[in-house]
Amino acid sequence: MFLGTTNSYGIRRLLKIVLTEYLESVTGINTIEVTFNPDNHISIVISGLSEDELSHEIALLHHVTSPKNYKIGILIGVSNAFLLRIVANPDRHVLAAQSGIYELSNAASSPEETNIIKLDFQLDEAIFKDSHVSYIPMNIMFQQLAYLNAGLKIISVDNRGELQRNVFYFKKGLKELFNNVLEKHDYGKKDSWLAMELKTAINGYIYHIIFRYHHIYTNYPEPYIRAFANNDSTKSGGSLVDGVFKGLQDAIKAIGKKEGVELKASRKKIGRQLVLMASVKGEPLEYGDSTKERLDMPAVKSDVRKYVGKVVYKHLVAHAGDRKRVLERFKKD
């Protein structure tokens, strides 16, 4: 019910649930190391948490059976054996479980132990049968999490045969994913325009929006759009993407009015050759359906529209080259 399936995709979904629960509730994480061992034994080490954040996670140990600690509850439920250690000097807090039966204990930590969270669990073979971690798809998921959490280092180790180790770290986060897409099409860089990167916080939500017009594939392709809500990809777009398009539309119409030129800025015309990546982080997030592929938040759409419209208009006023391209592209026939 929670994972959708019990094959390798379900295991990947399980890992994503656990890691995103940590990333969305604990802000200080700087490194996550995941090791895949034989017999579906998985180890996770999380570091970089503050003392207050560690104390919060320790308090959650007493809420294993409640939604407050969903990430740990689901791991215990699908594992034969489970071991969680939270080291917050000078103490080590331990939650151990066997076939769903758990107990808590604590002891003094050793001098060499640092503030850290360690999880070890062996997936229940009765649930997952002959399913095991598929390493390459798992790393694709890790890579996306690293892009969406700038400065986070995710280390992935496959210890089930010939040793494999991958490190995902993107200092600039989503900007690096955006650049990677465009680097495949360098021939169009000289003719790209209206290149903007916007970062802001509005009403408790954090936005990162990057776009430019770029000649990729053909002269008039469909827009290339990738949007994210927290750590999930909203493949069908929704409020965040709609807000960006509306904001661009408002800015284009406003600059046309200022220049005394009637412009036509339909969504289809705005989308031609547009490369757009956008993310929103915050709570709560609301979706159009249970798949979380379309964000449905009118307030987000309205806030993004106003912000993008204002910033893009100011940019067009100040940059004659982009202003000329807009007037040429959207001039009403």
Range 162-172 average pLDDT: 96
Query: What would the two tokens of residue 37 be?
Result: 């061992």
Q: 228-239 pLDDT, tens per residue?
A: 999 999 998 999
Distances (CA, A) of 155 to 136, 161, 165, 177: 13, 17, 7, 18
The span from the CA of 97 to the CA of 91, in Å, is: 20
In the predicted model, is pLDDT for residue 27 greater than 80?
no
Q: 186-195 pLDDT, tens per residue?
A: 654 567 899 9
Residue ranges matching CATH 3.30.230.10 in the chain: 174-330
**CATH code of the domain made up of 8-169:** 3.30.565.10
**294: three-class secondary structure by DSSP:** coil
Amino acid identity for residue 91 in this structure:
D
In the predicted model, is pLDDT for residue 151 greater than 70?
yes
Multiple choice CATH, 174-330, 3.30.230.10, 3.40.50.150, 3.40.50.2300, 3.30.70.2390:
3.30.230.10
Helix H or strand E encompassing 274: strand 274-281
What is the per-residue pLDDT for 220? 58
Residue ranges matching CATH 3.30.565.10 in the chain: 8-169
Q: How confident is the model at residue 116 (pLDDT cuts 50, 70, 90)?
A: very high
Q: pLDDT over 70 for what percent of the chain?
A: 96
CB atoms within 10 A of CB 241: 22
Range 115-142 average pLDDT: 94
Task: Please give the full DSSP string across 92-156, using - where no structure is assigned.
Answer: EEEEEEETTEEEEEEEEPPTT--SEEEEEEEE-HHHHTT----HHHHHHHHHHHHHHSTT-EEEE
Q: What is the average pLDDT value for the chain, to the nearest integer? A: 92
**282: three-class secondary structure by DSSP:** coil
Q: 264-301 pLDDT, tens per residue?
A: 999 999 999 899 999 999 999 999 887 789 999 999 99
Range 87-111 average pLDDT: 92
Range 70-90 average pLDDT: 93
Surface-to-core class of residue 149, CB atoms within 10 Å of its CB (0-12 exposed, 13-18 middle, 19+ buried): buried
